[in-house]
Amino acid sequence: LIYIICILYKFPYFRENKEMKAAQARQSVETVKNVQNDKTLKSKAEKDRRIREKHSNNTKKFIDERKTAAYRQDKQRAKLRKIHEAQLNDLTKYVQNVSRI
Protein backbone atom coordinates (compact mmCIF):
# COMPACT_ATOMS: atom_id res chain seq x y z
CA LEU A 1 0.00 0.00 0.00
CA ILE A 2 2.77 2.43 0.90
CA TYR A 3 4.56 1.53 -2.35
CA ILE A 4 1.43 2.39 -4.35
CA ILE A 5 1.08 5.71 -2.55
CA CYS A 6 4.72 6.54 -3.31
CA ILE A 7 4.15 5.75 -6.99
CA LEU A 8 1.04 7.93 -7.06
CA TYR A 9 3.04 10.79 -5.52
CA LYS A 10 5.74 10.53 -8.15
CA PHE A 11 3.73 9.58 -11.28
CA PRO A 12 2.70 13.10 -12.36
CA TYR A 13 6.29 14.24 -11.93
CA PHE A 14 7.65 11.36 -14.03
CA ARG A 15 5.31 12.32 -16.86
CA GLU A 16 6.13 16.02 -16.49
CA ASN A 17 9.88 15.34 -16.50
CA LYS A 18 9.57 13.05 -19.52
CA GLU A 19 7.65 15.70 -21.46
CA MET A 20 10.16 18.37 -20.46
CA LYS A 21 13.11 16.25 -21.61
CA ALA A 22 11.37 15.48 -24.91
CA ALA A 23 10.74 19.18 -25.50
CA GLN A 24 14.36 19.95 -24.70
CA ALA A 25 15.58 17.27 -27.12
CA ARG A 26 13.24 18.64 -29.79
CA GLN A 27 14.61 22.14 -29.23
CA SER A 28 18.18 20.85 -29.52
CA VAL A 29 17.43 19.18 -32.85
CA GLU A 30 15.70 22.32 -34.14
CA THR A 31 18.71 24.40 -33.14
CA VAL A 32 21.04 22.19 -35.18
CA LYS A 33 18.67 22.32 -38.17
CA ASN A 34 18.44 26.11 -37.98
CA VAL A 35 22.21 26.50 -37.85
CA GLN A 36 22.72 24.05 -40.73
CA ASN A 37 20.17 25.95 -42.85
CA ASP A 38 21.61 29.38 -41.99
CA LYS A 39 22.97 30.84 -45.23
CA THR A 40 25.04 33.53 -43.48
CA LEU A 41 27.42 30.91 -42.08
CA LYS A 42 29.73 29.95 -44.91
CA SER A 43 32.24 27.45 -43.56
CA LYS A 44 31.78 24.24 -41.63
CA ALA A 45 33.95 25.63 -38.83
CA GLU A 46 31.61 28.60 -38.40
CA LYS A 47 28.60 26.29 -38.29
CA ASP A 48 30.30 23.99 -35.77
CA ARG A 49 31.26 26.95 -33.58
CA ARG A 50 27.71 28.29 -33.72
CA ILE A 51 26.27 24.85 -32.87
CA ARG A 52 28.62 24.57 -29.88
CA GLU A 53 27.54 28.02 -28.67
CA LYS A 54 23.86 27.18 -29.05
CA HIS A 55 24.30 23.80 -27.33
CA SER A 56 26.12 25.48 -24.47
CA ASN A 57 23.33 28.02 -24.04
CA ASN A 58 20.66 25.34 -24.35
CA THR A 59 22.40 23.11 -21.81
CA LYS A 60 22.55 25.92 -19.27
CA LYS A 61 18.89 26.75 -19.87
CA PHE A 62 17.86 23.07 -19.64
CA ILE A 63 19.73 22.59 -16.37
CA ASP A 64 18.01 25.65 -14.92
CA GLU A 65 14.61 24.37 -16.08
CA ARG A 66 15.23 20.99 -14.48
CA LYS A 67 16.40 22.57 -11.22
CA THR A 68 13.34 24.80 -10.97
CA ALA A 69 11.05 21.88 -11.82
CA ALA A 70 12.70 19.70 -9.16
CA TYR A 71 12.42 22.49 -6.58
CA ARG A 72 8.75 23.06 -7.41
CA GLN A 73 8.02 19.33 -7.31
CA ASP A 74 9.75 18.96 -3.93
CA LYS A 75 7.65 21.80 -2.52
CA GLN A 76 4.47 20.19 -3.86
CA ARG A 77 5.45 16.79 -2.42
CA ALA A 78 6.19 18.33 0.99
CA LYS A 79 2.85 20.13 0.97
CA LEU A 80 1.03 16.92 0.04
CA ARG A 81 2.93 14.98 2.68
CA LYS A 82 1.86 17.50 5.34
CA ILE A 83 -1.76 17.34 4.24
CA HIS A 84 -1.74 13.54 4.24
CA GLU A 85 -0.11 13.37 7.66
CA ALA A 86 -2.79 15.69 9.04
CA GLN A 87 -5.51 13.59 7.43
CA LEU A 88 -3.97 10.41 8.82
CA ASN A 89 -3.81 11.91 12.32
CA ASP A 90 -7.45 13.00 12.08
CA LEU A 91 -8.44 9.56 10.88
CA THR A 92 -6.58 7.75 13.67
CA LYS A 93 -8.17 10.06 16.26
CA TYR A 94 -11.59 9.37 14.77
CA VAL A 95 -11.01 5.60 14.80
CA GLN A 96 -9.84 5.73 18.42
CA ASN A 97 -12.90 7.74 19.44
CA VAL A 98 -15.23 5.36 17.62
CA SER A 99 -13.55 2.30 19.14
CA ARG A 100 -14.02 3.73 22.65
CA ILE A 101 -17.75 4.02 22.13
Beta-carbon neighbour count of residue 35 at 10 Å? 19
Residues 8, 38: contact at Cβ < 8 Å? no
Q: Where are the domains of the chain?
A: 54-101
The CA distance from 48 to 53, in Å, is: 9
Q: What is the pTM of this model?
A: 0.69
Q: What one-letter code names the amino acid at 6?
A: C
CA atoms within 13 A on the CB side of 24: 18
pLDDT tens, per residue, the chain with 101 residues: 555 555 566 677 888 888 999 999 999 999 999 999 988 888 999 999 999 999 999 999 999 999 999 999 899 888 888 988 898 899 999 999 998 87
